[in-house]
Amino acid sequence: MIEKEIRKLSREELLEILLKLQEILSGEQKQKLQEIVREYKKTDEKEEVQPVQKRMSREFVEEKLEQIQKWQKQIDEGEFYLNTEEYEDYSSGYWDPDWITEYYDEQGISDKIMAMIRFAGDCVEDRRYEEANEIYQWLWQMDVSTDQEYGDPVDMEVLADHHLINADMEHLALLTLYAEYQESQPEERAQNIYQYFSLYAFFNLHIEKMFYVGRENLQDTERFWEDWIALLKEKTGDLEARLLKEAILYWKGTAGLLELAEENVSVHPSLYLTVIEEYEKAHRYEKIEEVGKNALDKIDPDIAIRSEIALRTASVSSRLMHEEEMMRFCWECFCSDTTVKNYLRLFGTEEMAEKYGMRGKEVLLREKTGTNEEY
């Protein structure tokens, strides 16, 4: 794209292009891009920031907050509630009906919540982060009562699922994190932001997008990334593993991710798989083979992810025409996940069948009889 066309793009379009570029750049290219970004951020932080005129008057904000706090109290105390209708739905089968709950908003709760969402967004735009943060915290903790005495209360996610509110939940979640970041003390930011990821609306968020959702650049980002990565290192689970991978790739590149994988092999062995995927994008096949060997030596043989790493590395060894390594990786793939499918891979070449075929058959027989022996 020529320079003239680039200059016509909006800030949002340029941001989207940069985020997409990160998905296809090699590790070295990502690191170079990060260096450029950091240089610009350093320049911005050194420049004297001139005060920006607030768009909303203090009187207007206080008036809006007074009304919002009144609504919040009425919802919290059950003065405002949703009407419901419950019935069995037999459309999926007579013997296994689904229990359906329909919600009806006869008191305008949805309009009030949407008004809060819009005003909180206005507060972020006007750099009134304290007010925005208080509203967002209440929204995500909110429980709306129903006319059923023993019925479950309704939260933001249920309201969205039943189309009672019409909000961009991803954008709302990102604004929430942005406001939380702005209002939290540096030492508390990582933990405060992590707590939101227990909510479904945050599950698929890419946290790096938080840095671009508001008007102002977030400060102390280096400390945040260090604290965020340190926190996630101590957590287990698929969500935490994904967040950790993305944080390392964004902040330290593929080399940093490899270092982390080696340090945390017992907690997050899947990091090795992500390292391999990143090197595949850069066509660094020799490096993949090296990483694969190292991973197989360190990861518990009984963990299924080891089998997947071995298979991906075997494919690369085949591309490099390293037949001995390819056969070994196929064998390790089978040892960590002794399925028939992985057994059949041992017959990919005549030499491999002769070397590993009978050994694989013996393993399958031992699995069937429950005999545990070393492979």
d(C-alpha 199, C-alpha 337), whole Å: 33
* Of the listed ranges 103-107, 133-137, 252-256, the one predicted with least confidence: 252-256
Domain chopping of the chain, boundaries: 3-45, 269-375
Residue 243's pLDDT is what? 94
Residue 296's pLDDT is what? 95
Per-residue pLDDT tens for 191-205?
999 999 999 999 999
Q: How confident is the model at residue 48 (pLDDT cuts 50, 70, 90)?
A: very low
**String of DSSP letters for 347-374:** TSSHHHIIIIIHHHHHHHHHHHHT----
Q: How confident is the model at residue 49 (pLDDT cuts 50, 70, 90)?
A: very low
Query: Which long-range contacts does 169-173 make (Cβ < 8 Å, 24+ apart)?
Result: 169/201, 170/201, 170/204, 170/205, 171/213, 172/117, 172/136, 172/201, 173/199, 173/201, 173/202, 173/205
Residue 336's pLDDT is what? 93
Residue 47's pLDDT is what? 46
- Give me the mean pLDDT over the 349-375 stretch: 79
Per-residue pLDDT tens for 137-186?
999 999 999 998 788 899 999 999 999 999 999 999 999 999 999 999 99
Residue 32's pLDDT is what? 72
Per-residue pLDDT tens for 275-329?
999 999 989 999 999 999 999 999 999 999 999 999 999 999 999 999 999 999 9
Sign of CA dihedral 248, 252, 255, 256: negative
Per-residue pLDDT tens for 225-259?
999 999 998 898 889 989 998 999 888 889 899 99
Per-residue pLDDT tens for 68-100?
999 999 999 999 999 999 877 766 666 666 778
Residue 3's pLDDT is what? 66
Residue 52's pLDDT is what? 59
Pair 207, 170: CB distance under 8 Å: no
